[in-house]
Each structure stands twice: as structure tokens, then as C-alpha cells.
Amino acid sequence: MKFRGSYTLVTLLLFSHSVYSHDSECEVSKDTEYNRPCIERLIPRTLHVTDRTMLEPQASIFSKDTEGALVETKPPLVAVLGASGRTGVYVLKELKSRGGNVRALSRNIEKAKEKVSSDFEWAYADVTKPETLNVALQGVDILISTIGSTGEDNSELIDYQGSINFVDAAKESGVQHIIYMPLYRGWRS
């Protein structure tokens, strides 16, 4: 007999642990103070074990301070490394046409502004100087690298060590995604 009673209590606890409000609650309140319909369904509630009544959470996870965070997300900041090159210019124009939040990175900003409109956020970055990358990548979510060497003499410095430098700087700066578009010059014999 004692076993049966404890089995019932365990069963009630398991079934009552995570009960959510029903759709009928949303029909009563079409719009909440959070300006999202039926947000109440997202707040977990618990069913009381003995009298089967709904218990409200002890502390609400929502407040007026978090109201905007429920519905608004900021667009990611995309940085284009090698913005003055042929591919970099194309990537910048494409991102602008899509309405992206873009930061153009170049080691020669004046030259780059001649090729592309200057209405981008510009920052100095040189893959051979890691300290410039750390500053330029602050706050960046996505990094698109279009760098590439222009000759045999600096291929290892730009293509190899430069790539290591920008990946390390991206890690330190908290960049979430890297799109690597390696560009290698074709050689004629």
C-alpha cells in the first residue's frame, strides 16, 4: 500500500512538472504588454500537485526592460577585408544593394574610396600588421576575406601569414563567422 501511494505521487510530479498555458488564454488576451500576441504561452507554469491549480513562476523572466529584445534583432556587422581589390569591390556593392550593415577594410582607404562610394564605414587593416586587424574587427559579426597576393614575391606573406593573422584577430575580436575567398593569381608560362 505504501508503494502505491509513493508511485502516485511520483507520477503526479512527473506529469505536472512542465505544463504550459493553453491557447484559450491567448484568446482572452489578444495582445499583451509585450506587444506580441500570446507571449504568455512562452512563460512556463507548473501545476500544483494536490489541488491541480496553475502556479505562476516565482520570478518573471520578462520585464519592461526586455520588451524590445523580444521582437528586435540588430543586423550583423559584416566586414570585407580587401575592400579595394576587384572581388572586394564587388562584394561591397552586393552587400550595399542588399542593405547590409558593412564595414570596409583596406590598407589604402583613399584608393579604395576612388573605386567604391565612400558611404561605407571604412577602417584601416593590413594583414601583415596584426595590430591593425584587432582594431578594425571590433564589433564585427561576419568577416569576408577577399585578400590575395599580387605577385610571387609576397605570396607567402599575404596568402599564408596574412590569413593566419586575420583568423587569429577574428577569434580575439569575437567574430562569429568567417567567409574565406582565397584569390590566387594565375601565372602564364
CA distance 69 to 161: 40
Q: Give tens-digit pLDDT for 60-101.
A: 444 445 455 544 567 899 999 998 888 888 899 889 888 889
Q: What is the DSSP letter of 161?
A: I
Percent of the chain with pLDDT over 70: 56
Number of domains in the chain: 2
> Same domain for 157 and 128?
yes
Does a structural domain hold residue 92? yes
> Same domain for 169 and 81?
yes
**Could you tell me the end-to-end alpha-carbon distance of the chain, in angstroms, rounded to an integer?**
93
Which CATH number belongs to the domain containing residue 111 in this structure?
Answer: 3.40.50.720
> Same domain for 169 and 82?
yes
* Domain residue limits at 25: 17-71
Torsion angles phi and psi, residue 19, rounded to 5: -110, 130
The per-residue pLDDT for 169 is: 95
Does a structural domain hold residue 108? yes
Task: Pick the last residue of a domain from 33, 53, 71.
Answer: 71
> Same domain for 33 and 84?
no
DSSP string covering 24-88: HHHHH-SS-TTSSTTGGGGS-BEE-TTT--EE--SS-S--GGGHHHHH--PPPEEEEETTTSHHH
Q: What is the pTM of this model?
A: 0.59
CA distance 109 to 124: 7
Residue type, 135: V
> Same domain for 131 and 167?
yes
